[in-house]
Amino acid sequence: MMFSTRSAAFATALIASFAVSGNALAQKKYDTGASDTEIKIGNIMPYSGPASAYGVIGKTEEAYFKKINAEGGINGRKINFVSYDDAYSPPKAVEQVRKLVESDEVLVVFNPLGTPSNSAMQKYLNSKKVPQLFVATGATKWNEPKDFPWTMGWQPSYQSEARIYAKFLMKEKPAAKIAVFYQNDDFGKDYLKGLKDGFGAKASMIIAEESYETSEPTIDSHIVKLKATGADVFINIATPKFAAQAIKKIAEIEWKPMHLLTNVSASVGSVIKPAGFENAQGILSAAYAKDGADAQWDNDPAMKKFYDFLAKYYPEANKLDGSVVYGYGAAQTMVKVLEMCGDDLTRANVMKQAASLKDFTPDTLLPGVKINTSAKDFAPIEQLQMQRFKGEKWELFGDIISGELSN
> Is residue 333 packed enough to be buried (19+ CB in 10 Å), middle (13-18) or exposed (0-12)?
buried
pLDDT score at 26: 52
Helix (H, G, I), strand (E, B) or coil at 232: coil
162 and 270, same structural domain? yes
Per the structure, the complete domain to which residue 351 belongs is given by 38-156+300-376
The CA-based diameter of the chain, rounded to the nearest angstrom, is 106
Task: Work out how many domains the chain is built from and give that number.
Answer: 3
Residue 30 lies in a domain: no
Does one domain contain both 233 and 317?
A: no
- On whether the CB atoms of residues 69 and 2 are closer than 8 A, the answer is no
Sign, Cα dihedral of 265, 271, 273, 279: negative
Do 226 and 331 lie in a common domain? no
Specify the pLDDT at position 323: 94
Domain CATH for 246: 3.40.50.2300
Q: Tell whether 292 is covered by a domain.
A: no
Say yes or no: 47 and 133 in one domain: yes
Asked if residue 407 belongs to a domain, the reply is no
pLDDT exceeds cutoff 60 at 154: yes
Residues 280, 221 share a domain: yes
- Asked whether residue 138 falls in the same domain as residue 199, the answer is no
Count of CB atoms within 10 A of residue 254's CB?
A: 7
Q: What is the pLDDT of residues 269-304, one digit of tens each?
A: 889 999 999 999 999 999 999 988 788 899 999 999
> Does residue 253 fall inside a structural domain?
yes
Q: What is the pLDDT of residue 19?
A: 47
In this structure, are residues 314 and 61 in contact, taking their beta carbons and an 8 Å threshold? no
* 119 and 236 together in one domain: no
Q: What is the pLDDT of residue 5?
A: 47
Report the mean per-residue pLDDT for the chain.
Answer: 92
Are both 179 and 165 inside the same structural domain? yes
Say whether pLDDT at 65 is over 70: yes
If asked whether residues 152 and 166 sit together in one domain, one would say no
* 309 residue type, one letter: F
Least confident of 6-10, 104-108, 135-139, 175-179: 6-10
310 domain-assigned = yes
Contact between 406 and 180 (Cβ < 8 Å): no
134 and 166 together in one domain: no
Question: Are 204 and 349 found together in one domain?
Answer: no
Residues of the chain with pLDDT > 70: what percent?
A: 93
> From start to end of 108-165, where are the E strands?
108-110, 132-133, 151-152
Q: What is the pLDDT of residue 12?
A: 52
- Domain-embedded: residue 33: no
Torsion of CA 21, 22, 24, 26, to 10 degrees: 170
The pLDDT of residue 362 is: 98
Co-location of 231 and 197 in the same domain: yes
Distances (CA, A) of 225 to 9, 180, 231, 284, 302: 90, 12, 11, 22, 45
SS3 assignment, position 199: helix
